[in-house]
Amino acid sequence: MKLVHYLLLLFCVGLSFCKTLHSLVQEDLLDEKCLKEKYTHQSCEKVFCHPWEKCIDGSCICKLPYQCPKAVMLVCATTGKTYNNYCQLKSHECIYPKTKFLTNGTCHGQGQFDLYLKYGNTESEGLVEVKLGNATAFICKKNWTITEANVACFYRGFKGGAVDYKKTFNFPGDVDVRITECLEANCRGLETTLAECVLTKRKANSKDLAGVVCHTQEAALLNDDSFQCVNGKYIPQEKTCDGINDCGDQSDELCCKGCRSGFLCKSGVCIPKKYQCNGELDCIGGDDEMNCEETGNSEHEVQEQAERLSANTDEDRKLLKSLLPKLSCGVRNTTHTRRKRIVGGKIATQGQFPWQVAIKEGEKLHCGGIYIGGCWVLTAAHCVRKNVAHRYQIWTGLLDWIKINNGTGIRRVNRVIIHEQYSGTTYQNDIALIEMKKHPTKTTCELENTTPACVPWSKYLFKPGDKCFISGLGQNEGIKNIYKLKWGEVKLIDNCSQYYSHRFFEKEMECAGTDDGSIDACKGDSGGPLVCMDSNDVFYVWGIVSWGENCGKPEFPGVYTKVSNYFDWISHHVGRSLIAQYNV
């Protein structure tokens, strides 16, 4: 919060005329444009899917059990069926919601899990009692937060989760109960049963028990200051962007410009502070696991004194996540140090931009391209024509096209796929795929000295101001006889319509450059890469050199095809498994 706002707020305490100001400052944290997209915990442009889900067209959907890792870490479901691991059980639940986690290990007639709300005035509230095996116990108030309360309400079928977790409920006078113990619950928040949370037995009396009010249409508390969750629930404005999933569908944490508490992912998501440096990626850009000090897991060493009754499914989930197949892309292995400065960029060394390819048509070096894996090269639609595929050659590992270097590979072209909505007049959808021919003696297209760049699945991976790189064999303005692969650092530019009014299409295009315009793509660089590096030093092809007014003029930055907008189009043609990084 800006200091001036803070001071005004101090003045404002108790004064109603300041209420508007108060809510203005509050709203400042939310990104209105993003809220229109109605993102939830199922939106893989914002968050990772669970290991038992895959990301299709921006949504996490159920995987089939066989698509889970094969690891054997037996778990038992409420249906009495044993599964090889938690992922397989959860993917089953994802399709048949009646199948729920019961315990770790094989099933052997443990009895059931159930959850009741007791002594409330309605069905949707009360003390939380669970049945575990043959015993029943109440849940403790200690560490009972909205996170756990949401899980209890989901289980009872309230899709909006909980609205209150602090309300107290008393035993009716005619009920004679002596409470000596309760179960402390610790959840992550998106479990579907308290059996999936860590349950620990604690000493207690009847004042120590947790209560909950679940969300119903009638329970909806609405005032002008409320935030409407995607699931329809209303929560106080000040509970948005605090890292805590109050909505139950996470929609209060996914469109944030800052966080009241918790950690702000570059993608605009607030996550709990404790998820930072916990060894698991939570932010899609990996920024929550960056700059972490190497520490022993001191937290885990704190031995639980009390009796833990349930499995730690969160550990299982993390382990399974680490067992999912990973794509190899966007990683370069250079040891170079040479950085010769020349006008508008530096000369690249072998392996520095291993996804860069050159497209030759006849004898002419025609355009650049980006290798994305398999037999596939991404380029600009304006670079290629469909019916002359036989005339193109793809050159890989090329650093100098006058003095051809060692390690250069040449492939012929099988076919060219141009985006169906490409417009040669507006340069909208300036994107094309080139399928290379396989090496005559090989069954794959593997190319030496070539590594694919990763294809971004979300427009939130990078944002204006981020530093990225362009590379190409195109010509320098002025200096004509340079035919070497060059590169330069540029930053992503916001609000590019100010430079190209009516010609810039936000959804499909991206601008990048430097303040003085000194680094820019130019003639011959078209079709080549604009790559950005995430927190784990993985490179993504964020843009394809498309067009621009002149070269190297700060008032006219280079315009690039925004590749993240075409993830589905690309995966439709090349196959999802080639480019889908997570949860294939």
Which residues of this chain interact with ligand 4AZ, rule CB under 6 A?
520-523, 525-526, 545, 547-548, 551, 558
Alpha-carbon span 89 to 106, nearest angstrom: 12
Amino acid at 94: C
Residue by residue, DSSP assigns 171-228 as --TT------EEEEEE--S--SSGGGSEEEEEE--GGGB-EEEE--TTT----TTEEE
Closest CA to 457 of 46, 164, 84, 173: 46
Q: For ligand 4AZ, which residue has the nearest CB?
A: 548
Least distance (Å) from ligand 4AZ to the CB of residue 560? Answer: 9
Alpha-carbon span 451 to 453, nearest angstrom: 7
Least distance (Å) from ligand 4AZ to the CB of residue 160? Answer: 49
- Cβ closer to ligand 4AZ: 233 or 382? 382
CA angle centred on 532, ends 527 and 533, rounded to 5°: 145
DSSP-derived 3-state class of residue 489: strand
Least distance (Å) from ligand 4AZ to the CB of residue 212? Answer: 58
- Cβ closer to ligand 4AZ: 232 or 478? 478
- Cβ closer to ligand 4AZ: 151 or 473? 473
DSSP-derived 3-state class of residue 28: coil
Angstrom CA distances, 391 to 29, 364, 404, 415, stand at: 54, 11, 20, 11
Least distance (Å) from ligand 4AZ to the CB of residue 484? Answer: 18
- Cβ closer to ligand 4AZ: 409 or 513? 513
Least distance (Å) from ligand 4AZ to the CB of residue 474? Answer: 7
Least distance (Å) from ligand 4AZ to the CB of residue 434? Answer: 17
Alpha-carbon span 561 to 545, nearest angstrom: 7
The 10 Å Cβ neighbour count of residue 138 is 22
- Cβ closer to ligand 4AZ: 185 or 519? 519
Task: State the catalytic residues.
Answer: 382, 430, 526
- Cβ closer to ligand 4AZ: 492 or 521? 521
DSSP-derived 3-state class of residue 9: helix
CA-CA-CA-CA torsion for 459, 463, 469, 472, nearest 10 degrees?
A: 50
Least distance (Å) from ligand 4AZ to the CB of residue 556? Answer: 7
CA angle centred on 137, ends 135 and 138, rounded to 5°: 165
Angstrom CA distances, 493 to 445, 455, 540, stand at: 36, 20, 17
